[in-house]
Each structure stands twice: as structure tokens, then as C-alpha cells.
């Protein structure tokens, strides 16, 4: 184990939640399931606990983290929620949406959480275990995806252990994540801006706003991992929009194709999103032959899938 910790595997019951809460409130790192991906949680009001998130992930810089709370009501302690942000919160929370909001002045969050910015990213996850943990813990929980920096996000407890065993105190095992890729992130300029496509289709956000939303890849002053070009990377090289394999390649398919693994044989984008990270992890475990990926339609969940695939295929440092 990387720094001598014995990572506890906690079960999805009252005893597991009680232990996870006890550890979180004592400043420990506890990975927990959300409906998107597993988060690496720490008490967001505890500077030392938040600092340990960056150490455990090997994040090169102090990039801002998403803060998780159990309900819309709990947001007012940490951030200002009004206007279009409140509309989106009411429409989609709990769910796979993160809102970047003005920090509440004089709030109790560690300054490390927002990396010195005047804003904080907030999310109310829908997963029942996350809901219960956040409610019982009674503190806002900072949680990036529970993967080593630059690697594929975890959609099972085993993925978390593969990357972080020995570096964190515990993982609460809630089985595979239903959505399977990270939340959609919306900021305000003050007009709404899509910062990361994700588990909530952008079409749903636009329908709630009553019009199109602008897109921005990078946030002024931030160089965040989710916004860098090379991220979510498997060891093997990746080639996108492949209609056929070249010699030596393994096909990660979509739709009616003959493939080593198929994201969705029936061409269902929601199913494909749920399988994406699990299949990338699996291909990574099975060897380093290059991976070719079938074309994925660029609408609905396909937009987030293509975003993650482009990052995984980007040139590596
Ligand atoms: O589904 C998810 O969002 C998962 C689960 C665990 O909630 N979390 C997640 O966190 O994906 P992470 O740290 O891997 O990605 C957070 C993204 C980063 O790209 C970061 O730059 C952005 O959110 N972010 C956080 N705070 C921000 C802020 N104040 N302004 C702009 N972007 C921010
Ligand atoms: Mg991440």
C-alpha cells in the first residue's frame, strides 16, 4: 500500500454509513458512490482533510473541488443560489448537475476547496448512499472523482481500490454507478455557461433555461484537470471515430458492430455512458494493444461521452 494505510471496504448498510461518517468527521478520506462516479470525500470545512485529497490523488496543483450537500436548503450555508442557478437547482437537484456559484461571504468552507476563487462548485447528488452519508455527516463534503490524477474516473468501488488503495482510509461500496460519467457543470457569467458536458444532457439544461447555453472549455484563471486536453487516460493509445479496426487494434464498439467490448449493441447512449469508464478500465487491465472506438452520435449523453473520449485520446505529456 502506497503510504501504509489499510483502506477499509465499508458495506452499503447502517454500519457502513456510520463508520464512513465517523471517519469523515475525524478528517479522514472516504470514497463514496454518487450516481455519476465515485467521489473522494473529505470534510470541506477541514483544511488538513481537504489538503490530503490533493496528496492522495497526486493532483499537481490545488484545483478547485466540488462540494456535496444533501439538499438545496443546505446550499445557503456555503454559496449564493438565485436567478437562473436557482431555476436549474430546482429543476435538476438531486441529480448529475454541478453549479458554480458565488461563495457565501464568511462561510465555513476551507479556502483550499475553491482554490482561492470567489466561487464554489456545488452538487446535490441523488444516490441514496450519498444522500444518507451527507445527511448524517452534517458537514459539506468536498469530493473530486476518486481516481489518481490524470486517470480514468471510477464507476465501481474496485476501480477506486485499484487506484487509491493504501492512500485513503475507506471506500463505501455501493456497487456500479448508474450514470457512469461525471456531472454536467454550469457556471454563470452571469449568463449560464456550460463548463463541462456530463451526466445531465445539455439539451435538458437548455430546455430548463428556455434557450441555448454558451460553452467554455477553460475557466479564466483555472487549469483544472477536467478541463485539460489530456485526461481520463488509459495506458493504451486510443483512436476515435473508427469504422473498422487496423491490425493489432481492439474495437470498443457502439451499435451493431463486432467488437471486443460494445458500449451499447442497441445504440443506446445512456447505456453507453454507464459502460464507458468500466470498459476503458477493463481494456486497460487486459493489455496495452491500441484501442479503436466506433463513432458515437454527438447528442444527449453522446456529447459527454465524446468529450471524455477526446480527452482520453489527446496527446500525452
Ligand atoms: O460527477 C462529478 O462531478 C464527480 C462526483 C464525485 O461528484 N466529481 C468530479 O469532480 O468530477 P472533479 O474534481 O473530478 O471535477 C471537478 C471539476 C474540475 O474540472 C474543476 O475545475 C471544476 O469542477 N471546478 C470546481 N470548482 C470550480 C470553480 N469554482 N470554478 C470553475 N470550475 C470549478
Ligand atoms: Mg475528475
Q: What is the pLDDT of residues 29-70, one digit of tens each?
A: 999 999 999 999 999 999 899 989 998 998 776 789 999 999
| Ligand 1 atom at minimal distance to the Cα of residue 183 | 1
Find out whether the beta carbon of 123 lies less than 6 Å from any atom of ligand 1: yes
Ligand nearest to the CA of 121: 1
Count of residues making up the chain:
317
Residues 91-128 as b/e (b if ≥16 CB within 10 A, e otherwise) read: ebbbbbbbbbbbbbeebebbebbbbebebbbbbbbbbe
| Ligand 1 atom at minimal distance to the Cα of residue 222 | 21
Tell how far the Cα of 260 is from the centroid of ligand 1, in angstroms. Answer: 32
Q: Is residue 263 over pLDDT 70?
A: yes
Tell how far the Cα of 183 is from the centroid of ligand 2, in angstroms. Answer: 10
Ligand nearest to the CA of 116: 1
Find out whether the beta carbon of 155 lies less than 6 Å from any atom of ligand 1: no
How confident is the prediction for the chain on average, in pLDDT?
92
CA distance 214 to 192: 7
Pocket test for ligand 1, best of 32, 64, 273 (most atoms within 8 A of CB): 64
| Ligand 1 atom at minimal distance to the Cα of residue 119 | 29
Q: What is the pLDDT of residues 104-125, one digit of tens each?
A: 988 899 988 998 889 999 999 9
Q: Give the closest residue (by CA) to ligand 1 atom 19.
A: 226
Q: Quick one: pLDDT at residue 221?
A: 44
Ligand nearest to the CA of 142: 1
Q: What is the pLDDT of residues 139-186, one digit of tens each?
A: 999 999 999 998 999 999 999 999 999 999 999 999 999 999 999 999
Tell me which residue of 11, 30, 32 sits closest to 22, measured CA to CA: 30
List the CATH code of the domain at 8-227.
3.90.870.10
Find out whether the beta carbon of 45 lies less than 6 Å from any atom of ligand 1: no
Find out whether the beta carbon of 31 lies less than 6 Å from any atom of ligand 1: no
Tell how far the Cα of 144 is from the centroid of ligand 2, in angstroms. Answer: 6
**Residues 277/162, Cβ–Cβ less than 8 Å:** no
Which cell numbers hold the place of 287?
493489455
What 3-state DSSP class applies to 166? coil
Q: How confident is the model at residue 282 (pLDDT cuts 50, 70, 90)?
A: very high
Q: Quick one: pLDDT at residue 250?
A: 97
H-helix or E-strand containing 32?
Answer: strand 30-33
pTM listed for this prediction: 0.90
CA distance 126 to 262: 27
Q: Where are the beta strands (DSSP E) in 167-228?
A: 170-172, 184-188, 192-196, 214-215
Find out whether the beta carbon of 34 lies less than 6 Å from any atom of ligand 1: yes
- Interface confidence, given as ipTM, is 0.99
CA distance 47 to 72: 24
| Ligand 1 atom at minimal distance to the Cα of residue 68 | 7
Ligand nearest to the CA of 227: 1
Q: Is residue 25 over pLDDT 60?
A: yes
| Ligand 1 atom at minimal distance to the Cα of residue 179 | 1
Which cell numbers hold the place of 9?
471496504
Task: Look up residue 154 and give its DSSP letter.
Answer: P
**Residues 63/168, Cβ–Cβ less than 8 Å:** no
CA distance 44 to 65: 9
Q: Is residue 77 over pLDDT 60?
A: yes
Find out whether the beta carbon of 120 lies less than 6 Å from any atom of ligand 1: yes
CA distance 314 to 56: 24
Q: Is residue 297 over pLDDT 80?
A: yes
Q: What is the pLDDT of residues 201-251, one digit of tens each?
A: 999 999 999 999 999 865 444 444 445 555 567 889 999 999 999 999 999
> In the chain, what are the domain boundaries?
8-227, 238-313
Q: Give the closest residue (by CA) to ligand 1 atom 3.
A: 183
Pocket test for ligand 1, best of 103, 107, 121 (most atoms within 8 A of CB): 121
Find out whether the beta carbon of 200 lies less than 6 Å from any atom of ligand 1: no
Amino acid at each position: 500500500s502506497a503510504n501504509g494505510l489499510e483502506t477499509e471496504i465499508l458495506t452499503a448498510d447502517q454500519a457502513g454509513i456510520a463508520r464512513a461518517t465517523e471517519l469523515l468527521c475525524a478528517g479522514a478520506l472516504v470514497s463514496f458512490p454518487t450516481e455519476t462516479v465515485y467521489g473522494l470525500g473529505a470534510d470541506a470545512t477541514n483544511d488538513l482533510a481537504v489538503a490530503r485529497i490533493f496528496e492522495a490523488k497526486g493532483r499537481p496543483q490545488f484545483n478547485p473541488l466540488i462540494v456535496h450537500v444533501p439538499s438545496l436548503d443546505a446550499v445557503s450555508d456555503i454559496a449564493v443560489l438565485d436567478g437562473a442557478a436557482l431555476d436549474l437547482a430546482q429543476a435538476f437537484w438531486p441529480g448529475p448537475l454541478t453549479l458554480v456559484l458565488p461563495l457565501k461571504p464568511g462561510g465555513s468552507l476551507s479556502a483550499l476547496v475553491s482554490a482561492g476563487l470567489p466561487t464554489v462548485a456545488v452538487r446535490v447528488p441523488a444516490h441514496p448512499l450519498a444522500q444518507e452519508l451527507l445527511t448524517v455527516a452534517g458537514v459539506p463534503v468536498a469530493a473530486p472523482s476518486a481516481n489518481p490524477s490524470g486517470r480514468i474516473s471510477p464507476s465501481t468501488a474496485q476501480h477506486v481500490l485499484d487506484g487509491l488503495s493504501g492512500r485513503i482510509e475507506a471506500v463505501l461500496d455501493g456497487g456500479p454507478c448508474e450514470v457512469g460519467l461525471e456531472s454536467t457543470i454550469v457556471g454563470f457569467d452571469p449568463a449560464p455557461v456550460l463548463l463541462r458536458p456530463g451526466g445531465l444532457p445539455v439539451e435538458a439544461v437548455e430546455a430548463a433555461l428556455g434557450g441555448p447555453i454558451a460553452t467554455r472549455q477553460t475557466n479564466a484563471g483555472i487549469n483544472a484537470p477536467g478541463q485539460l486536453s489530456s485526461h481520463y487516460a488509459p495506458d493504451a493509445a486510443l483512436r476515435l471515430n473508427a469504422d473498422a479496426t487496423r491490425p493489432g487494434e481492439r474495437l470498443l464498439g457502439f451499435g451493431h458492430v463486432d467488437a471486443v467490448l460494445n458500449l451499447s449493441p442497441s445504440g443506446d447512449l445512456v447505456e453507453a455512458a454507464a459502460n464507458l469508464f468500466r470498459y476503458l478500465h477493463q481494456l486497460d487491465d487486459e493489455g496495452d494493444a491500441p484501442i479503436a472506438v466506433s463513432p458515437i452520435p454527438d447528442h444527449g449523453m453522446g456529447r459527454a461521452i465524446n468529450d471524455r473520449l477526446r480527452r482520453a485520446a489527446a496527446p500525452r505529456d
